Amino acid sequence: MSSDQSSDTSLLHFLNCEALDLNLFRGQSRDFKTGQVYGGQVLGQAIKAAYQTTDGTRGIHSAHAYFLLRGDVDAPIIYEVDRSLDGGSFSSRRVVAIQHGRQIFHLSASFQKHEEGLEYSEKWQPPFELLQQALDKGITEETNFQSEYLDVWYVPHEQATRRDSTQYWFKTKEALPDDLATHHTVLAYISDMGPLEATVEPHSLNAPKLEDRHKKVMLATIDHAIWFHRPFRADDWLFYECRAQSTGNGRGLAYGRIYTKDGTLVASTSQEGLLRIRR
């Protein structure tokens, strides 16, 4: 890790992509002591690169990604953006992430001009009172990449509203600028944390505690999708609930919902990944 990387604790600096040429960008990696690049980093940087090829009047509304190879934490990542379409209302982009001359990830993303229309949002009140109680006691999670960039508080399993899920509150430690691209990039970064963990929840694996169950399985993201429904701020508390949908054939599938404090649904995710018992 270079001295510049290690000394800058800004999440925005970390997720930023340097423009190398037309449609070509470079992002830096960080070693979070996991032995591989965190998937949310690649997803967030790819979305940031795609945003840099739009005119600024269109916001991303959906992204679909495949994780092909494990990323090398000691090497930068090159992002090549294909400007597939710039239509009257929508823009489509395809992003390929490359390390050591090989594709490690690719993303399809769609951007749309804002327009007025029928408005409906699933409403559900997340347990903000539990977060407030934890904050009053000074409790937040302090693990790997989260502690540097994010405030995170996991809802204890016995207090979760649904037992086949993982639930947590999060926000950035730093205040963010107002542009939507920044908040979308940050939300994509955090959205990779939680779905695969939820697929372990239905299985005891002779270990009652979730952290002990994680030691018995290998988890790795295969594909990830995210839909952005309406504006939000990633520097204010958001609630992420991930629910297991299916496990089998060495894979697990989970759906996620992200809400504001008042229960407004701002984004939805789905993720499938490897779920293999360690031998």
User: Strand order of the sheet with strand 18-21?
Assistant: 18-21, 24-27, 77-86, 90-99, 102-113, 58-67, 217-228, 265-277, 251-260, 238-248, 165-172, 150-154
Q: Reply yes or no on whether the pLDDT at 158 is more than 90.
A: no
Helix segments in the chain, DSSP class H: 3-7, 11-15, 39-51, 128-136, 144-149, 180-191, 195-200, 210-214
The per-residue pLDDT for 215 is: 74
pLDDT tier for residue 206 given thresholds of 50, 70 and 90: low
> How far is the C-alpha of 1 from the C-alpha of 23, rounded, in Å?
26
Helix, strand, coil proportions of the chain in percent (round to 5)? 25, 40, 35
Q: Could you tell me the end-to-end alpha-carbon distance of the chain, in angstroms, rounded to an integer?
A: 33
Question: Can you read off the two tokens belonging to residue 22?
Answer: 């037309």
Q: Reply yes or no on whether the pLDDT at 247 is more than 80.
A: yes
The per-residue pLDDT for 202 is: 85
> How far is the C-alpha of 143 from the C-alpha of 68, rounded, in Å?
26
pLDDT tier for residue 106 given thresholds of 50, 70 and 90: very high
- Which one is predicted more confidently, 144 or 211? 211
> How far is the C-alpha of 67 from the C-alpha of 77, rounded, in Å?
13
Which residue from 153, 172, 186, 177 is spatially nearest to 235, judged by alpha carbons?
A: 172
- Supply the residues annotated as catalytic: 192, 221, 271
Q: Do the Cβ atoms of 124 and 263 come closer than 8 Å?
A: yes
Q: Do the Cβ atoms of 169 and 153 come closer than 8 Å?
A: yes
pLDDT > 90 in the chain, percent: 71
Q: Reply yes or no on whether the pLDDT at 19 is more than 60.
A: yes
The torsion angle over the Cα atoms of residues 21, 81, 194 and 233, rounded to 10 degrees, is 70
The per-residue pLDDT for 141 is: 66
Question: Can you read off the two tokens belonging to residue 191?
Answer: 């959205």
- The average confidence (pLDDT) of the chain is 89
Strand partners, 247: 252
pLDDT tier for residue 9 given thresholds of 50, 70 and 90: low
What is the mean pLDDT of the segment spanning 260-264? 95
pTM: 0.90
Q: Rounded to 5 degrees, what are φ and ψ at 147?
A: -65, -25
pLDDT tier for residue 208 given thresholds of 50, 70 and 90: low
Which residue from 3, 265, 225, 25 is spatially nearest to 109, judged by alpha carbons?
A: 225
What is the mean pLDDT of the segment spanning 47-69? 96
> How far is the C-alpha of 117 from the C-alpha of 108, rounded, in Å?
25
